Structures are given as structure tokens and as C-alpha cells.
Copies of this chain bind each other. A is one copy, B any other.
């Protein structure tokens, strides 16, 4: 049973880890955001790694919630994959300023040689596995994972360069090109259906 304070700590840490980076965020920063003392903070989380694990767990949950939303909104696999492709536009303002939350965290944890690296990678896997399901439903079971990884790589490349150059026209162009690529993989199914 998470207390309200614990939940507020996780939300503040999630935000600060994204905007400032994990290593650069101190306990004092998080405590200040939640308006509690550092002593109180340690009542809820004993180590920094503990709160990182809680933050990543929260991100996994919110990722799954977003995916369920896409599934409710879009009945076809093509429409659902399109939702993923368009994240780089949907979250464009944040990505331009702070990059992709998933990619920048795994990059940082890799350099820190942090034990939570595997857990952070699993956020990527939530997207990867779901995209693989969608491409399987599109009738490309044999190469579904390969296609999922390609779409994932697209999102990371666009996010990194949007963060570096701040060029919105580039993002729009790449999304358009990727959507066109997707439609060629969907035609296969359309031809088979009446």
C-alpha cells in the first residue's frame, strides 16, 4: 500500500530524473520538490537505487497504460503502430528539451554501470514486445521482431537529433516517411481482406 507521500516522491523523482538526469539529481532536489525534509525522505526510500527502481517500475506501468489507450483508440495494428511512430511528435516539446525518457535513462545507466540498467531496458522491451505483436497481427510474423526493432530505432534516432538540433520540420518529415513505409507493410494484409 503506497502512501500518498511515497507516491509524490516517485512522481517528483520521475520528473527530475528525466529533466536533469539520475546522477545529477540529489535527494535534496527531490525532497525540495515534494516539500518534505531529507530525514522524512529516508523514511520512504533508504537508498538512491531504491527510488530509481520505483521510478522505472512507475514508467513501465505508465507505458503499459499508454499502450492500452492506443489499443482502445485504434482497432487496427497499422493504426496502433502509427500511434507509436507519432510519439516523437506528440511528445515533441519535451523530447526537444530533454530527449527520450527511455533512451536517455538507459544511456546514463550504461555509463554509470548501474544495477538498474536491466530494469530500464525492460521499458524498451514493453514497446518492443507490443510492436512485435502488432506486426505479427499485420501478417509479418517471421520478421515481426526485426520490424519492431526498426521502428524503435527510428524513434531513438529522431529523438536524439530533435534534442540536438531542435528541428521540428525534420521530425515531421521523418514521421511522414516512416508512416509511408508502414503502409507498404500493411497493404499486404489489405489485399488479402475483401
Measured CB to CB, the residues of A under 8 A from B are: 19-21, 23-24, 97-99, 103-104, 106-108, 110-112, 121, 124, 146, 149-150, 152-158, 160-161, 163-165, 167, 170, 173-174, 177
A-B pairs, top 4 by smallest CB distance, nearest first, are: A157-B157, A153-B157, A156-B160, A156-B157
Cross-interface CB contact of A99 among B107, B149, B161, B174, cutoff 8 Å:
B107
Given contacts A99-B107, A106-B160, A149-B170, 14 further A-B contacts (CB under 8 A): A21-B108, A98-B110, A98-B111, A99-B110, A99-B111, A104-B107, A107-B107, A107-B160, A107-B163, A124-B164, A153-B157, A153-B161, A156-B156, A156-B161
Measured between beta carbons, the chain B residues less than 8 angstroms from A99 are: 107, 110-111
CB neighbours (8 Å) of A161 from chain B are 124, 149, 152-153, 156
What's the nearest-Cβ distance from chain B to residue A193, in Å?
Answer: 28
28 pairs from A and B in contact (CB 8 Å cutoff): A19-B111, A21-B23, A21-B112, A23-B23, A23-B24, A24-B111, A24-B112, A98-B110, A98-B111, A99-B107, A99-B110, A106-B163, A108-B108, A110-B163, A110-B164, A121-B165, A124-B161, A124-B165, A146-B170, A146-B173, A149-B174, A153-B154, A153-B157, A156-B156, A156-B157, A156-B161, A157-B157, A157-B158
With A98-B111, A108-B108, A112-B21 known to touch, is A158 a contact of B164 (CB < 8 Å)?
Answer: no
In the complex, the chain B residue whose C-beta lies closest to that of A125 is B165
In the complex, which residue of chain B has the Cβ closest to the Cβ of A160?
Answer: B156
Closest residue of chain B to A152 (Cβ to Cβ) is: B161
Residue A158 contacts which of B103, B124, B153 (CB distance < 8 angstroms)? B153
Instruction: Report the minimum CB–CB distance from A39 to chain B (whole Å).
Output: 26
A112 and B20 within 8 A (CB): yes
* B residues less than 8 Å from A153 (CB atoms): 154, 157-158, 160-161, 174
